[in-house]
Each structure stands twice: as structure tokens, then as C-alpha cells.
Amino acid sequence: MVAVNLPNKQKPKSVGPALPGVEVKIVNEDMVELPRGEVGEIIVKGDNVMQGYWKRPEATAETIVNGWLKTGDLGYMDEEGFIYIVDRKKDLIISKGINIYPREIEEILMNNPHIKAAAVIGIKDEKSGEVPVAYVELEENAKISENEIKRYLKEHLANFKVPRSVYIVEELPKNATGKVLKRVLKERLQKAMK
């Protein structure tokens, strides 16, 4: 744990400020610290941060640079030092050079009363590089079509963020802890497109 929202010091959607003894920076691809408010990778340093992977020096070298742990989370820090996580770096979709954060689309989908669960992935596209695709699990007895979901998204998102396709599935693939396995969704879609 590197940040915590204290009862007397909280901000909506923030994970809180860094804990005492933990340093947090937001950096670009070159590990250069970004100004407050700009989105980049969250890196951390402190006594409670792992020193490396057991007997995996290559993985350690990729993840820990000059004592800083690259978390794989994208986020930003506000002027008061509160940290906000935007998405996982590996989930980022880059379409025509513009960053699209799947989590933003998923949150909007989850605000629809007909939708029980949602996952957004990026798929390769010749013209755009990548485009978003959404998978949704509906609430019991919900009556909504893929086109209605796309219309709903168009009301809440910029056009370039609206998924090219929406797939309604009975159940999203999840691991033992309930986390959606986006890798499995990508594999299934790639097989279906062949």
C-alpha cells in the first residue's frame, strides 16, 4: 500500500495522498516527472516497496528502475498530492494517436441500470491503430440491445471513444478473485476474426 484516504482527508475518486515514508511520482515513458494534473505512469519508492522478483532479474530490471517501482498504473496527482488512478498501462488504447482509457468507458457502462458488468478492450485497426470494443453482462431480465448501448455511450462520450462494437455476453470471464480476464476476451475476439 502506498496511498490511503484518511477519514478526515478524502477526495472523490482519489486513492489518497502517499503514505509517510513513500515517495510517489507520475512519469512519462522516459521516466521524466510530469507536472501535477498530467496523466502518466505511477512510480513509487520506499521501504515498503518490493526489492525485486525472486530469481527473475530480467523482470526486476524492467519493473524497478533506479530504485523506483513502475506500478503499471496510469494516473495523476493533484496540487495537494492526492493520487488518482486512471487505468492500467497495459489496458490503454491508442487510437489515431489519442489515448483512450477503457476504465472511463466501463464506468459509464456500469452507470446504465441494465448493465451488470462491463469490460472494454482495444483491438488492432488498420486506420486507427487500435479501437475500443465493449463486452457487457446484462442484469437479469434486462432488455437492451447492442445498438441501444452504443446510443447510450454516444450521449456520454466523445465519438472517438465510443466502442466500434458492443457484445452482450452471458458472463464475462473472471479469475478466482472476480477480476475480468481481458486477455481471454482479446483471444476470443482474435479467434472469431480469423
Task: Report the CATH number of the 92-193 domain.
Answer: 3.30.300.30
Could you tell me the pLDDT band of residue 133, with boundaries at 50, 70 and 90?
Answer: very high
Q: Tell me the CATH number of domain 16-87, given options 2.30.38.10, 3.40.50.1980, 2.40.50.140, 3.40.50.720.
A: 2.30.38.10
pLDDT at residue 1 above 80?
no
State the DSSP string of the chain.
--B--BTTB--TT--EEBPTTEEEEEE-TTSPBPPTT--EEEEEEETTS----TT-HHHHHHHEETTEEEEEEEEEE-TT-EEEEEEEGGG-EEETTEEE-HHHHHHHHHTSTTEEEEEEEEEEETTTEEEEEEEEEEPTT----HHHHHHHHHHHS-GGGS-SEEEEES---B-TTS-B-HHHHHHHHHHHH-
Percent of the chain with pLDDT over 90: 76
Q: What is the pLDDT of residue 8?
A: 79
Could you tell me the pLDDT band of residue 2, with boundaries at 50, 70 and 90?
Answer: confident
Per domain, the residue ranges of the chain are 16-87, 92-193
Same fold flag, 16-87 and 92-193: no
Whole-structure pTM value: 0.80
pLDDT at residue 192 above 90?
no
pLDDT at residue 32 above 90?
yes
